[in-house]
Structure 1
């Protein structure tokens, strides 16, 4: 009996602490998990919010607003919404989405996919502690996840926040295979195209003055990043997605700030495929057509064809 009384008092204490945090920190939404916010270091251990964490909380809400609108657009189905978060890390994004949206739903599931086993284990422990029962954490690469029986055949929403280099492309490939209705991508460290631009730099400089745009190493990296994301947008459009590109947060917080939101419409654009192919050929990247950007067969395109891009 003494143990039960102690547990009862402990439970009352937790509820009181949560209520106090909501009362003293007006930014926190009613019903949010105070323990989760502490685990994410948004709240201090005594439930306080300093200026840095207040800014962090605003960024969390800003990102969630984008995703919440997409979740609300999805049609109702018995099994609920499925979301896969690639390169999940500590599953920061997945936990926030679950806490602010999935927790109040009776159905639906979030899958966190991460290659580091220690992070997967910590996420499993935290979800169990919080009672977030419709979350699974898988120790898989993005490529492995596309073939894994641990995930359903279809995923409604695919997210990849700061997935490094080609991991974003892997997440796109996963989304295409799983017939995702939405993809939310924040690319990071786009190095593959920059490496290839460096390999062909001397030849490019001999052919065109435009190669000055990526002659210096810093410019090569920036140009490679820009080209990579443009190619990804065209690739998504060629595969039937409507693409929106916007800022994630203010540039003062992160230089890796490009948010790509793709919504499946089924309208595969031949003009986008033609543009993508032309850009790859123009920059000496045609081999990527066999690896990263395998284009679908598109019989027609409702949009007017784009004018051809002449090779440099």
Structure 2
């Protein structure tokens, strides 16, 4: 089937006059940007909004390219779950520029703060974005909801805090998702585990000096979390790319993890994941946070 690629210039919504504000993508709804408080009521873009818009647009470019390359269902439809949606800046802009041109596609925003979910529902109704749904549940609880499709094409998680990113990965694996787009944030769980076993680690290996001081513990925990996530996704059959979302001058939470399902489960990734967990005294997470697929379990002992 020929792919139905979407040009972001297509839109039935009122658009900004060409060239008025260079940062605004052609075809973007003026009303939407005002409702999101990215544009002021008189159509201006302030410095803070310009920075926020740059981040969202940059992420949109990655997602647009990814979706255009994915095999599409009949009619060119997509399902996307945006976890930790917050005010749904990303979801609304994705829908406005991409999803509304695909009549059978649906975008789901998942957020625990009820007031944000209510506001997003009101705005979607006001703009006529009738294939957007907002759910007031945790990422973990969303996996069990019968009202959601059994499979998804794309899962996004933009600054989903701490283990919410891991919950988004677990959701995607359960829903046999074709691609992940993840911008992790506040990875504190592994730092806590490293702190608890710090004294033992210092007697066991000089590498523990890398996380002896509290600041280094936090930084090491963040770095280690994302490395393990990448290995975990590779072990489950995804091709993973890690890059910058935007320049460091715009955000310190800058790491972007892109993963696309290939079906090739990498045994070496599973073995290395287990070895790293063992080296850092974190093997307990192998049965909780980083459960490997049964057909890709590393051998005990030699790992051969």
After superposition, give the CA deviation of every residue in 1:148-207 in whole Å (9 maximum; x if it has no partner).
012100000000000111111110000000000000011111111000100111111112
**Distance in 1 separating the partners of 2:57 and 2:163:** 27
Give the corresponding residue for 1:200: 197
Alignment match, 2:125: 128
Distance, in Å, in 2 between the alignment partners of 1:102 and 1:160 is: 18
Deviation at 1:21, TM superposition (A): 5.3
**1:22 Cα deviation from its structure 2 partner:** 4.8
In the alignment, does 2:270 pair up with 1:239?
A: no
Query: Which residue of the partner structure matches residue 181 of structure 1?
Result: 178
Q: Which has the larger radius of gyration?
A: 1
Contact in 1 for aligned 2:16/2:30 (Cα 8 Å)? no
Task: Specify which of 140, 161, 164 is matched with residue 164 of structure 1.
Answer: 161
Superposed displacement of residue 53, structure 1: 2.8
**Pairwise mapping of residues 63-212 of structure 1 onto structure 2 (< 5 A)?**
63-78=59-74, 80-212=77-209
Task: Give the CA deviation at 1:209.
Answer: 1.6
User: Where does the alignment leave 5 or more consecutive residues of structure 2 unmatched?
Assistant: 1-12
Shift of 1:299: 5.9
**Aligned mate of 2:294, from 279, 285, 297:** 297
Q: For 2:42, which of 41, 46, 49 is the aligned residue?
A: 46
Deviation for aligned residue 1:125 = 0.2
Alpha-carbon shift at residue 60 of structure 1 (Å): 2.3
Query: Are the counterparts in 2 of residues 21 and 48 from structure 1 also a CA contact under 8 Å?
Result: no
CA distance in 2, matches of 1:210, 1:76: 47
Residue of structure 1 equivalent to 2:5? none
Across the aligned residues of Structure 1 and Structure 2, the Cα RMSD in angstroms comes to 2.1
How many pairs were matched up? 288
* Mapped contact 1:269–1:298 kept (Cα < 8 A): no
User: What secondary structure is seen at the aligned counterpart in 2 of 1:60?
Assistant: helix
Q: How does 1:226-305 map to 2 (within 5 A)?
A: 226-298=223-295
Q: Does 1:59 align with 2:55?
A: yes
- The structure 2 residue matched to 1:32, chosen from 11, 16, 28, is 28
Residue 18 of structure 1, CA deviation: 4.8
Length-normalised TM-score, structure 2? 0.90
8 Å Cα contact 2:110/2:139 also seen in 1: yes
Deviation at 1:50, TM superposition (A): 3.0
